[in-house]
Structure 1
Amino acid sequence: MSDDHSNEWYYNTKTGQVEPYTGAKSGDRLGPYSSPEEAARALDKVQERNEAWDNDEKWEDD
C-alpha cells in the first residue's frame, strides 16, 4: 500500500465539505475519491447505489 495520499479526496458528512486526505477523522468521511469533483458527488453516489441495491432481485427477501 502506498503512503502517497496526494490524490485522495473525501466528503465530510458533518461539514458537507470536500477535503484532502489530511482532513477530519475518517468516521465522518466518505471516500477516498480520485478528485474533488468526484468527492463532491459522494451523497449522489450513495443514493444511486442504494437505489440499485433496493432494486436488485438477488436481494429480494419478501
Structure 2
Amino acid sequence: MPVLLLLLAAGVFAYFLWRSRHSGLTRDCRWRQDKSHGIWRCSFCGAEITALDQPLRCLKARDA
C-alpha cells in the first residue's frame, strides 16, 4: 500500500511538472472566447488571437 501511495505522489508531481513546462500561460492570462467574432481575447491584457482552441501561450510579450 505505501508503494502505491508513493507512485501516486510521484505521478501527480510528474504531471504538474510536465504541465508547467508545456504551458506558457502566466497567472494573469484569462482567455475568453468571443464566438460572434471567432476570436479568443485575454481579459487581462487585451491580446486577441483567431484560433479554434484556447491559446496555450501568453501573448502579452508579443503585443508589447
Larger Rg: 2
TM-score by length of 1: 0.29
- Asked which structure has the greater RCO (Cα within 8 Å, sep 6+), the reply is 1
